[in-house]
Amino acid sequence: MNPIVSDIKTIDESRQGEAFYLPDTEDINDIILKRFYIESYGCQMNFSDSEIVASILSECRYKPTQDIEKANLILLNTCSIREKAEETIRKRLRTIDKIKISRPGTMVGILGCMAERLKQSLLEDEKLVDLVVGPDAYRDLPRLLNQVEDGDKGINVYLSREETYADISPVRLESNGVTAFISIMRGCDNMCSFCVVPFTRGRERSRDPFTIVSEASHLFERGYREVTLLGQNVDSYKWQHPETHETYSFARLLEQVANVHPDLRVRFSTSHPKDMTDDVLHVMARHENICKYIHLPVQSGSSRVLSLMNRTYDREWYKNRIEAIRQIVPECAVSSDIIAGFCTETDEDHKETLSMMAWADYCMSYMFSYSERPGTLAARKYTDDIDEDTKKTRLSEIIALQRQLSAEHNARDVGKTFKVLIEGDSRKSESEFKGRNSQNKMIVFPKAPGLNPGNYVHVFIESSNSATLLGRIVTN
Ligand code: 5AD
Ligand code: SF4
């Protein structure tokens, strides 16, 4: 039977345009009572949460549909990280309202960070929404849905100190059957002054490592060949056995997941420079299947701005962490998040960001201009005093430099051979595969007979641009 295309979508730039598939299901048409349609916005964590939501909904006989017009329940899993993300959702809600008006009885729900941030006001002000559910309240969805079906509104934005959804087996909505996300922790205790996440996702808590390793093993048995361990700050993963009191650090967890099988690749995201230990780097160096790629957001290259951002490290500390990576895992690629135009940022500070980017030689960055978020430390303590034009100019300089660094990075890979995990057909052609090397670079190459997604191949790189490497399969 062909896979059923679900309509989980993500607006994360790196994933935009991908289709997502559900595993085969027997006689699905016989057992479906109701259908839900879900769109995910923002970070990978939201995408992973949508898979937990799909699992919880399947228990109350909701099945996903790719056709919003056929859905009894329309869900938006939302992001609040920047104002623009919230505007996108509001616009989308107004479009969805037309469907709701044309098909009375259709329920609309807001999940995730925006639900948490705006709470009751989403139900009251908008009148477009029936259901508002925060990131820690997804288990309550069946009860809330009953409430909505009975004509009431459903809201639960309770933030938990314990919820990790450890026992829930996510319904994999990933398209390729090769790569999957595993949430290892939730929330964040860091309080970076610009960031709304600690308010929308609550306190940091780590998931039972045994359930993480078992989820990775099951994925491997089902043909998956890559897992990405997800958390806002994976380096502060910490779990204590309730009986033995033995503690598990991220380094220990990473090693255990790597030991599931040598053919299961392991990635992780996001690392925080203040917490990234040499222990983790040594574990990476010891295991070929732990991908040699670290997303280590710097945010700014200026120590003064970093202090205002409450990042709790300075430029020197960050450089020291990069030097440790270069020494312990020399082939490791590093990417970053960068914010242009944070409060009080001078031209000099901005230049320090550019020089840090060049020094760190990022293979890739996610780049943003500062967007003040209500309730954050920065909104309360500082003035958003950099005008939009200056933010825009600085951001475009950062983007131009990153484009150049990525192109140079990729050009240096021409002539090298990489082990690549095949993920599927390339976007442009059915006669080509796409896959990633350990350093997370996308590689496109002509297909060869007998190969399928999930297989590893060696690819010789013949050419490159700033986004992709192009090559051909070689025997070794
Ligand atoms: N403005 C701009 N960028 C932000 N980020 C988080 N909060 C803001 C904000 N208020 C960026 C940071 C973070 C990434 C996920 O989003 O770079 O690492
Ligand atoms: Fe936000 Fe900082 Fe936590 Fe990342 S580490 S989620 S930027 S508070």
pLDDT per residue as tens digits for the range 320-362: 999 999 999 999 999 999 999 999 999 999 999 999 999 999 9
Domain topology for 417-474: OB fold (Dihydrolipoamide Acetyltransferase, E2P) (2.40.50)
How far apart are the C-alpha atoms of 67 and 196, rounded to whole Å?
32
Mean pLDDT rounded to a whole number for the chain: 91
Please check the confidence at residue 272 and state whether its pLDDT lies above 70.
yes
Span from the CA of 172 to the centroid of ligand 2 (angstroms): 26
Q: Which residues make beta-bridge pairs with 367?
A: 338
Question: Mapping DSSP to helix (H, G, I), strand (E, B) and coil, where does residue 415 land?
Answer: coil
Residue nearest atom 1 of ligand 2, based on CA coordinates = 195
Q: Where in the chain is the domain with CATH 3.80.30.20?
A: 179-411
For the chain, the C-alpha Rg in angstroms (whole number) is: 22
Q: Is 317 in contact with 282 (CB distance < 8 Å)?
A: no
Average confidence (pLDDT) over 360-384: 97
How far apart are the C-alpha atoms of 416 and 434, rounded to whole Å?
17
Residues flanking ligand 1, CB < 6 Å: 81-82, 194-195, 297, 299, 337, 339, 368, 370-371, 373
Distance in Å from the first CA to the final CA of the chain = 35
Span from the CA of 147 to the centroid of ligand 2 (angstroms): 34
**pLDDT for 52-110, tens place per residue?**
999 999 988 898 888 999 999 999 999 999 999 999 999 999 999 999 889 988 999 99
Question: Mapping DSSP to helix (H, G, I), strand (E, B) and coil, where does residue 74 land?
Answer: strand
**Residue 5: predicted pLDDT:** 30
Q: Where in the chain is the domain with CATH 2.40.50.140?
A: 417-474
The DSSP code for 290 is: B
How far apart are the C-alpha atoms of 14 and 251, rounded to whole Å?
27
Q: Which of 46, 47, 79, 82 to mutate to test the pocket of ligand 1 (most atoms within 8 A of CB)?
A: 82
Q: Which of 81, 195, 276 to mutate to test the pocket of ligand 2 (most atoms within 8 A of CB)?
A: 195
Span from the CA of 81 to the centroid of ligand 1 (angstroms): 6
Architecture of domain 179-411: Alpha-Beta Horseshoe (3.80)
Question: Which of 448, 357, 349 lies closest to 398, judged by CA?
Answer: 357
**Residue 66: predicted pLDDT:** 86
SS3 content of the chain, % helix, strand, coil (to 5): 35, 25, 40
**Residue 128: predicted pLDDT:** 87
Which two structure tokens, joined as six digits, stand for 388? Answer: 């939009």
Share of the chain above pLDDT 70, in %: 92
Ligand nearest to the CA of 43: 1
How far apart are the C-alpha atoms of 167 and 174, rounded to whole Å?
20
**pLDDT for 137-148, tens place per residue?**
999 999 999 999
**pLDDT for 420-435, tens place per residue?**
999 999 999 999 999 9
pTM confidence score: 0.91
Domain topology for 13-156: Rossmann fold (3.40.50)
Average confidence (pLDDT) over 144-158: 93
45 lines ligand 2 (CB under 6 A): no
Q: Which residues make beta-bridge pairs with 20?
A: 6
Confidence of residue 126 (pLDDT cuts 50, 70, 90): low
How far apart are the C-alpha atoms of 423 and 442, rounded to whole Å?
10
Ligand nearest to the CA of 232: 2
Q: Where in the chain is the domain with CATH 3.40.50.12160?
A: 13-156
233 lines ligand 2 (CB under 6 A): yes
**Residue 4: predicted pLDDT:** 29
